Chain A
Amino acid sequence: MEVHTLTCISLLLFVGAIGKSAQLGLHTWLPDAMEGPTPVSALIHAATMVTAGVFLLARCSPLIEYSSQALVIITLLGASTAFFAATTGVVQNDLKRVIAYSTCSQLGYMIFACGISQYAVGVFHLMNHAFFKALLFLSAGSVIHALGDEQDMRKMGGLVKLLPFTYSMMVLGSLALVGFPYLTGFYSKDVILEVAYAKYTLSGNFAYWLGTVSALLTCYYSFRLLYLTFLASPQMLKSSLKNVHDAPFLMGFSLCCLAVGSIFGGFMAKDIMIGLGTNFWGNALFTLPTNTLLIEAEYIPQAVKFVPIIFSLLGALFAVNLNGLSSSFSYYLKTSFIGKQVYIFLNKRWLFDKVYNDFVALPSLNFGYKISFQLLDKGFLEMFGPTGIIQQSFFMRKFVKTIQTGSIYHYAFMMFVSLTLILAFFLLATTNVGLLFDSRILVLLFLSFFWLSEK
């Protein structure tokens, strides 16, 4: 079977990136990992470990650049991940899970940025994302800590006056995330969308539209999170409301550092990372000359450049509208027949988990027990092995017991008859008549004694 080796290599390396960066297909671990402590989530599931996949792709850019099919697949998968995670994050109820899906979505952005050969932009977004995502996670941790380990957003609310510092940090993080003009996210996220449009290929357009819709949804769930956690009316028990306290100095200090990065990081690092003609990357990132798009991205229609901002505003409006102002309408929407199906589909993460459990995990475990252990190991192989031999020897024992009567006349008779038969067969074998009798019939006769004796 002939395969283009570089495509094969690039795709297999990309599978590693799928697993590590929680792309569609191997993404199921990321929301489940939110069971761990929040600082751990902030570090590895937002900033450092999950970006290892993006780093792998950027590092292997000399390899994957030469395989255009792999690049297309990377783009498509990254864009799908961004869209999938954004749609799922919209209807999650756990605070950290929303942020986890947000991470998954932004990783999709980074991956498809690498897929359209803009590794510098992808890595730049990686860097910026680290700031505001860690900020979001740590603020979420502050909220959870304040409420005594309560993670469900539906049981929060009204914290804007009680946790003003955390609220400001959260707002900063969210604004940076949705690409509010001139904050960090703006410099990388909007550039990604622009170069996606400027690619003018099918995969580039696919990525652009999915990315834009994801930007809308990102804004929606970020503002929904803010609204439900801080601005809505309080939904929690009075006892937990009594013990609410804002972040202590140590927590607040980390949040401040990250906030500074979230505000200024993008602007400071923009020219060095994705500026035109920058010398920063040297030989680290390789792009084929046909794939360089930064100049092209300057010449896309003006309307296209405004689309992300408009969509973000729309998303924010939807969020405030559906969750706050006309929440009865959204309730009606959720409980209608179609709305319920859509809600369940999105809340259950597009039923990926169910498919994986029912079609991969359960059959494998069934195989491991019913087939390989019960049927084969303890069944088939033992029948042809010890258990079978033991059972056969039971039968043979009964037969041999009946033969051994102890009477010497029986023994003499058996010896006589057997001798006659053996002589007959072997003597006959030498004559012409004997050609009709094959001496192997003797063996069959011998064996038939055993099978005949089975009752």
Chain B
Amino acid sequence: MFTQNILFCLLCLPVIGALGILFFPKKAVRQMKLFALNVSLCNFLLSLNLWIFFDNSSAKFQFVQQMDWFSFFNMNFYIGIDGISLFFILLTTFLVPICLLISWQSVNHLVKEFLVAFLFLETFMIAVFCMLDLLLFYVFFESVLIPMFLIIGVWGSRERKIRAAYQFFLYTLIGSLFMLLAILLIYFQVGTTDLQVLSTVEFSERRQFFLWAAFFLSFAVKVPMIPFHIWLPEAHVEAPTAGSVILAGILLKLGTYGFLRFSIPLFPEATVYFTPLIYTLSVLGIIYASFTTLRQIDLKKIIAYSSVAHMGFVTLGLFSLNAQGIEGAILLMLSHGFVASALFLCIGILYDRTRTRLVRYYGGLVQTMPLFSFFFFVFTLGNLSLPGTSSFVGEFLILLGVFQTNTFIATLAATGMILGGAYSIWLYNRVVFGNLKPVYLNQFADVNRREFFILLPFVVCIFWMGVYPSIFLESFHFSVANILQNTRI
């Protein structure tokens, strides 16, 4: 009984929390924050049950619940998870309390609205990952934009935030328009938008091309792939720390999750046909974004562009269409969710103290903030995919998978790894080593207890996934095999 309803509880709990916060008086800021934090932590503990009760040996969707919505039109509220969704939901529920904690002292005005927006955002994100109905997936895929738009636009850091929020919102929305057309076309052909029914439908090849391309436009903006990536640096730079963490940690994964869950299983011929396109764009993304990262001067932009590069690896792995590639891609997605979020947290910690994000003002932080330097170092190692961290496992498996399909692309992607090392070490060198610059900055407090306990779980997770990834991999062996079987490759 409990395990049956757990997904619905996961979805409802943040909403109930958000509605509950609305009843708090405006002055009770601390109580509101505590309440929101408690709600999100309860959600996290609840989601751990998903992992505990998950059956590793079946490829079927588990914890399935179905509620009638438009049952006459065969569009129902149909939720369930398999091995792939499981970890994304865990990542979401893990990151939201961290975000609330990191904005404990930096979000001071309109706190109630911030917490409400965040909890709604959490619900929408969990809903995206567990929805088994195509239309509702689209609805929640788009709904994620609204709280995010508010968070960037209201609690962002500079005046350019409005423009960045608009750019983020409109880019994603325009891409998704085509996806809506595609969903309508699918519905008119099949008569339902239930994913499990759609997996059995054979679309004609021409129709598959169009549908795949429409889905591609939507997901490519989200991933983000070159050349649709320019919203990402803007959005990241302008967003508050919590917004950046969620953006990098979860929202980027929505695109690649969409590829994995919808584009590849539903349109197999089109997937094979468009694979060269994806390979080209991914490799371009990796190399081009890495070169651009080398010349950036804003800390957040550096990590934002490096996210583009990592996501290039992910799409490369997804479209290699073998088990190593896809599992590596999923693992890299999870790992990037940890590493990039942790890096944004570190930058947020610096920003809280000094109110600047330009690299030239920083230097010699190891002398005054040694603990912070240690954390930053671990996350830098994760960013450059050092063996022993989770990113290495992901990237290695991806390269393994891609090498079997196309050796030239694998070579180019491997050179992208070199560039990854270049910009990560360059950034770390400039910020942490060298001389202090007291001419510019004189705030040198090391991480306080709250920040320490925010950063610690990330270190643990990165090394855990890097040294013993099998715990994570075994949950999605069967799901990945199922997807590959579906595509009849």
Contact = CB atoms under 8 A, between A and B. Distances in A.
A298 interface: no
B240 to A, nearest CB: 22
A170 B166 CA distance: 69
A381 B288 CA distance: 13
B292 A377 contact: yes
Nearest to B163: A386
Nearest to B407: A1
A240 B255 CA distance: 65
Given A385-B171, A386-B167, A368 B230 contact: no
Nearest to B227: A381
Contacts of B171: 385-386
Contacts of B274: none
Interface residues of B, number: 15
A385 B291 contact: no
Interface in A364-415: 364-365, 367-369, 372-373, 376-377, 381-382, 385-386
Given A385-B171, A386-B167, A368 B227 contact: no
Given A385-B171, A386-B167, A377 B230 contact: yes
Contact of B292 (A372, A382, A386): A372
A373 B293 CA distance: 9
Nearest to B408: A1
A369 B230 contact: no
B167 A368 contact: no
A381 B166 CA distance: 16
Interface in B167-199: 167, 170-171
A364 B291 contact: yes
Contacts of B170: 386
A372 B291 contact: yes
A373 B294 CA distance: 10
Interface string B326-353: 0000000000000000000000000000
B109 interface: no
Interface string B279-309: 0000000001101111110000000000000
Interface string B232-244: 0100000000000
Given A385-B171, A386-B167, A373 B292 contact: yes
B335 to A, nearest CB: 24
Contacts of B230: 377, 381-382, 385-386
A368 B419 CA distance: 11
Contacts of B296: 373
Contacts of A373: 292, 295-296
Contacts of A381: 227, 230
Given A372-B288, A377-B230, A385-B230, A365 B295 contact: yes
Given A377-B230, A382-B230, A367 B167 contact: no
Contacts of A377: 230, 233, 292
Interface in A320-364: 364
A370 to B, nearest CB: 9
A372 B295 CA distance: 10
A377 B170 CA distance: 17
A94 B230 CA distance: 48
Size category of the A interface is: 10 to 19
A385 B175 CA distance: 12
Contacts of B227: 376, 381
A373 B166 CA distance: 21
B231 to A, nearest CB: 8
A382 B289 CA distance: 16
Nearest to B166: A386
B294 A364 contact: yes
A194 B228 CA distance: 62
Nearest to B288: A372
Contacts of A386: 166-167, 170-171, 230
A385 B288 CA distance: 19
A114 B180 CA distance: 63
A381 B289 CA distance: 14
Contacts of A368: 291-295
Contacts of B289: 372
Interface string A171-209: 000000000000000000000000000000000000000
A377 B289 CA distance: 10
A91 B484 CA distance: 62
Contacts of A382: 230
Contacts of A367: 291
Nearest to A373: B292
A365 B292 contact: no
A367 B288 CA distance: 9
Nearest to A386: B167
Nearest to A364: B291
A27 to B, nearest CB: 17
A428 B296 CA distance: 60
Contacts of B294: 364-365, 368
Contacts of A369: 292, 295
A381 B224 CA distance: 14
A420 B396 CA distance: 67
Contacts of B292: 368-369, 372-373, 377
A368 B230 CA distance: 15
Interface in B212-249: 227, 230, 233
B259 to A, nearest CB: 22
A385 B294 CA distance: 24
Contacts of B167: 386
A377 B296 CA distance: 12
A283 B176 CA distance: 61
Nearest to A370: B295
A372 B419 CA distance: 15
A369 B423 CA distance: 13
Contacts of B233: 377
Most chain B CB within a 10 A radius of its CB, from A365, A368, A381, A382: A368
Most chain B CB within a 10 A radius of its CB, from A376, A381, A386: A386
A397 B24 CA distance: 45
A14 to B, nearest CB: 16
A365 B426 CA distance: 13
Most chain A CB within a 10 A radius of its CB, from B227, B233, B289, B291: B291
A382 B171 CA distance: 12
Contacts of A385: 171, 230
A365 B170 CA distance: 32
Nearest to B234: A386
Most chain B CB within a 10 A radius of its CB, from A364, A367, A369, A372: A372
Nearest to A368: B291
Contacts of A364: 291, 294
A368 B170 CA distance: 27
A7 to B, nearest CB: 15
Nearest to A372: B292
B294 to A, nearest CB: 5
A369 B230 CA distance: 15
B160 to A, nearest CB: 12
A368 B297 CA distance: 12
Contacts of B166: 386
Nearest to B170: A386
Nearest to A389: B170
A296 B168 CA distance: 73
A270 B145 CA distance: 72
Given A369-B292, A386-B167, 16 more contacts: A364-B294, A367-B291, A368-B292, A372-B288, A372-B289, A372-B291, A373-B292, A373-B295, A373-B296, A376-B288, A377-B230, A381-B227, A382-B230, A385-B230, A386-B170, A386-B171
28 contacts: A364-B291, A364-B294, A365-B291, A365-B294, A365-B295, A368-B292, A368-B293, A368-B294, A369-B295, A372-B288, A372-B291, A372-B292, A373-B292, A373-B295, A373-B296, A376-B227, A376-B288, A377-B230, A381-B227, A381-B230, A382-B230, A385-B171, A385-B230, A386-B166, A386-B167, A386-B170, A386-B171, A386-B230
Interface of A: 364-365, 367-369, 372-373, 376-377, 381-382, 385-386
Instruction: Return the 6 tightest CB-CB contacts between A and B, nearest first.
Output: A368-B291, A369-B295, A368-B295, A372-B292, A368-B294, A373-B292
